[in-house]
Structure 1
Amino acid sequence: MHSPRVSIVIPLYKGGCYAKEAISSALSQTYKNFEIILVDNNASDETRNYALPFVKEFPEKVRLIHEVNQGVSFARNKGILEAKGQLIALLDDDDIMYSDKLQRQVEVFDKYPDSAIISCWDDRISYDGKILSPNNVPTEIFWVKILLGETQYYKNSPFIFHLPSTMLFPREKAIACGLYDVRFSPSYMTEDVDFEFRMYKLGYIKVVSHACIAYRFTEGAFEEQKWNGERIRSFTQWAGTNIVFTVMQEYLDLPPSIYRNKLRKIQSQWLREFACFLMRFPEKRSAAKRLFKRALLAQPFDYKAWKSFLRSYYPSRFYAHAFHFESDARFPSSFSFPDGFEETYFSISSRFL
């Protein structure tokens, strides 16, 4: 195996046939000084069958390692630690790297070698390859702004969330920040923001103003609804363990009276947004109204919390417009809420009140 400068880490789980496309796109880079590390994270047989031929055909470029602990945090950490390159590029097993991604990002890193992350724009594509939304710019994360928005560091360079597949970063900085927090495994849908936030504290984030990856995004109503179901289960899981607020307190070197107020603001918005989502389910609207009240209890002077709360008492025919969902949206018959999710969310709202 050669000594690469960049290691492309691709966790394998359920990418299926798209894993083949992901690996092929990594191999097609115009920048040639790289290796590909495939991390078998209890991958499906289909995914593994698409990946193994690359290991045999390109042994000097592609190697396969195994991580038995389930979760993308474990898988990425294993890949980063096993990497030989100075720089790490992440790629999910259903996304696509455009051929100039590494070339563009390495050039930026060489210009700004103290950077913590080099990111880029992305195209959102459907599972049949259709472009749904081109040139998506990374977005600001509201809770980080609440935590750090008043600091000079944040004012100089606001924290922006980047999809994992867009990122290139120094391996040493990733190790220095503690890698991905496995407390978020198997998946709480927040491990990416947490990792990027800790990297951000070690150096600024630079962005290539060009779409360098394609991120597969669900297109149809069924897929959107399926994703929302997974989101609810994931959020309920982390809510039950209190992991997110525990981690947030670790970030804050502040007196309790100050950080409690910041966490109340974050709680209020999360409760309000989740309650808005629940309003599309007639049988969950009473729970949604209770959550709106808890959001108000956390932030009594928040006009958005008041607006959502008052809208929940509109006639039901106005709910679709008021809470931004399709009036004829239907979830698949297999969809169900996790047991005890309401009690879990109500417990969130009382922790810092």
Structure 2
Amino acid sequence: MPFAFLTYLQPTHYFRLFTDAGNSAFPRVDALPPSVINQFEVDTRYRSKQAQDYDLSWQAVQSGFIGDVSYYTHFKKVSVRDNYHFIRKQFHPVWVFYVLLVRLFTFHNPITDIRAWIQTSHIKRVTAITPVLYSDWNHYQSELLAKSPLVSVVIPTLNRYSYLKAVLLDFEKQDYLHFELLVVDQSEPFQADFYQAFDLPIRVIRQEEKALWLARNTAIQAAKGSLIALSEDDVRIPSDWLSKHIACLDFFDAQVSAGVFYPEGHSIPKARSFFAIATQFATGNALLYRSVFEEVGLFDRQFEKQRMGDGEFGARVYLAGIRSISNPYASCIDVKAGTGGLREMGSWDAFRPSTFFAPRPIPSVLYYFRNYYGNTAARLALWRTIPTSILPYQFKTNRFLLLFGAFLSLLLVPVVLVQVFSSWRLASRKLEAGDRIGFLE
């Protein structure tokens, strides 16, 4: 990344990696169009011109710049002071202090760091983002939509018929009609008659094994369409969900349209309300060409009954240099069903296991982190995430309780260490065994 201190704050972000072709995700400032550069503020308070340029490149990415320009293939080192300057602009002061502590505890020069931390104390956090606008989108006539390619929609389901009913009714209302639904049903008891109530081109695949990634892989292999849409049994989608995904692929000449999730009862987060290069991949809301799976493979079954299989797939897509667009116009509501699905397999999320003495985080998380970002980055990710994961899932957005959880983790250090070491050991076994990535036949 352009600023080294991002390693402490975003240790397992896709953009920390260079693609297989040697490119970063950050456009060279001298390659950006003047119309884009002019909407950003040049911060002359940095000590070096290099830091100013990197800041502008960061602004371009955060504001949603998408273009065929030159990208940085390496980053020159900038001063400790300019690194503190940057993170003060981009992150809450608590995280700036966290970086200082990490650097002091890892034996960096305390005088240099404390001086730089103090000297940049006047730098205020910048939270406002001015998105790069794509005005042609509003009246875009997609040639790909006009060709009406077949879309194969993949939905795995496990003991969620009431939730599945709602999303299937949403598919009945789609304004794009050339699609097939492949539902991989792992439910017990299996209700074959359930699907007869829907006026939809559904192919039901009965799967006895309770295995989410096997289900998705099986459906993708059985798909007839040149486009694959990935959905879930506990989401709600608008009537133009498919058409907006397809138009996005066409508009940006992209291979992946990564839709935006937002919780039920809320609206789309402001930071994700505009087009941008995707920073994550979620299997509950995406559309991609079948050729993507042919290039990078199917989902890794090392994540079976665990978490972050979609994140790992997204990393492969990013490394292959495949353009993936965060698409707010193909959004969906994340209902977060309290039963069924992965809830029956052990966890609410990647860092909160089902029982208190189970490995924390879920071992597949460390398998992914260590495999792509290395052991040091994985440890930094643990420092950032474990303290705030002590409290239950329903409190994850409450800042006060998260802070309380961080203090609580200090009291529970022996237990937490046992959880983490257990997870690390199980992840090591996965790494030794290697991936379980299949390819389309």
TM over 0.5: yes
User: How far did residue 87 of structure 1 move?
Assistant: 0.8
Residue 54 of structure 1 aligns with an amino acid whose one-letter code is Y
Distance in 2, Cα, partners of 1:324 & 1:218: 27
Q: For residues 322 and 213 of structure 1, what CA distance do their matches in structure 2 show?
A: 27
Q: Percent identity?
A: 22
Alignment match of 1:95 (pick from 228, 235, 254): 235
CA distance in 2, matches of 1:270, 1:105: 34
Unaligned 5+ runs, structure 2: 1-147, 393-398, 408-414, 429-441
* Map of 1:336 onto structure 2: none
Report what 2:269 is aligned to. 136
**Bigger Rg over Cα:** 2
Q: Secondary structure at the match of 1:73?
A: helix
Query: What TM-score do you get using the length of structure 1 for normalisation?
Result: 0.60
Residue 194 of structure 1, CA deviation: 0.8
Q: Aligned match of 2:180 in 31, 35, 47?
A: 35
Q: Distance in 2 between matches of 1:101 and 1:345?
A: 40
Cα distance change, pair 33–324 in 1 and its aligned pair in 2 (3 A): farther
Q: Is 1:190 aligned to 2:318, yes or no?
A: no
Alignment match, 1:267: 379
Aligned pairs for 1:90-239 within 5 A: 90-113=230-253, 115-125=254-264, 131=265, 133-136=266-269, 160-186=279-305, 188-202=306-320, 203-210=322-329, 212-217=331-336, 227=348, 231-233=352-354, 236=358
Q: Which residue of structure 2 aligns with residue 150 of structure 1?
A: none
- Note the aligned Cα RMSD (angstroms): 3.9
Opposite residue 224 of structure 2, the aligned amino acid is: K
Whether the 8 Å CA contact 1:67–1:74 is kept in 2: the answer is no
Report the secondary structure of 1:213's partner residue.
Answer: strand
Q: Give 2:298's aligned amino acid.
A: L
Q: Secondary structure at the match of 2:311?
A: helix
1:323 equivalenced with 2:435 (yes/no) = no
Q: Is the 2:154–2:181 Cα contact (8 Å) retained in structure 1?
A: yes
Q: Which whole-Å CA distance do the structure 2 matches of 1:169 and 1:183 have between them?
A: 22
Q: CA deviation at 1:119?
A: 1.9
Letter in 2 for 1:43: S
Structure in which a larger fraction of residues adopt strand:
1
TM-score, scaled relative to structure 2: 0.49
Distance in structure 1 (CA, Å) of the matches to 2:402 and 2:199: 54
Contact 1:9 1:37 in 2 (8 A): yes
CA–CA separation in structure 1 for the residues paired with 2:366 and 2:350: 22
Q: Residues 249, 52 of structure 1: CA spacing in aligned structure 2 closer, same or farther, 3 A cutoff?
A: same
Distance 1:247 1:101, change over 3 A: same
Residue in structure 2 matched with residue 6 of structure 1 by the alignment: 151
Aligned residues: 256
**Per-residue deviation, 1:325:** 5.5
1:341/1:23 Cα in 2 relative to 1: closer, same or farther (>3 Å)?
Answer: farther
Q: Does 1:345 align with 2:420?
A: yes
SS in 2 for 1:189: coil
Gaps of 5+ in 1: 126-130, 140-156, 252-258, 282-318, 328-339
